[in-house]
Amino acid sequence: MREKTMKNLFNLKMLIPLVGISMPMSPGMAGTQSTQAIEQIINRYEAHLNESDAQSIMRLYGKDPVFMPQHSPAQVGRAAVKKAYDSVFANIDLNIKFTTYEIEIYGNTAWARTSSAGKTTIVSSGMKITEGNNELFVFKKEDGEWKIHRYLFSTTTPRQ
């Protein structure tokens, strides 16, 4: 029954464990709340990407983030992460949808696997291209709020 609810909640596409909760101090309901909080971060991240809103994205990241954009070294720290998003949005306008496959929570740490798909408009030319990525997130609960701690994505579109 619980598994079915989870499947409906999270758009599960594969028969893999969706949520592994291992929290000695806060089992059950707290786990579900955390899962929903993390799902909400992913939803907000999708919305702010589509709005090209780097400032709102930075509210989703924690104190010591690492963002790993493609074709770039890892961006370490809030200033570098913000600059990287500003650069992304100067070049492309995203219209994508995330799908969450798995969220696992361990105390104040969690990870999630997602994919995203949609269209990207190249700002300079107006050209629209198909966009698709796999993503891994690591989250940390900081001062009671879940935040993005590590984030890596990689294209799924065939090699040109």
Q: What residues line the site for a second copy (CB under 8 A)?
A: 14, 16-17, 20, 22, 24, 64, 66, 68, 70-74, 76, 101, 104, 106-109, 111, 113, 115, 134-136, 138, 150, 152-159
> Least separation, in Å, of the C-beta of 14 and a second copy?
6
Residue 77 near residue 63, CB atoms below 8 Å: no
> Least separation, in Å, of the C-beta of 132 and a second copy?
8
Q: Which two tokens stand for residue 104?
A: 């696992």
Helix (H) or strand (E) holding 142: strand 128-142
Residue 54 near residue 86, CB atoms below 8 Å: yes
> Least separation, in Å, of the C-beta of 45 and a second copy?
16
Residue 21 near residue 105, CB atoms below 8 Å: yes
Q: Which is nearer to a second copy, 2 or 71 (CB)?
A: 71
Q: Which is nearer to a second copy, 56 or 111 (CB)?
A: 111
Q: Residue written as tokens 């758009």? A: 11
Residue 53: other Cβ atoms inside 10 A: 15
Residue 61 near residue 147, CB atoms below 8 Å: yes
Q: Which is nearer to a second copy, 96 or 152 (CB)?
A: 152
Amino acid (1-letter code) at residue 117: A
> Least separation, in Å, of the C-beta of 143 and a second copy?
17
Q: Which is nearer to a second copy, 37 or 92 (CB)?
A: 92
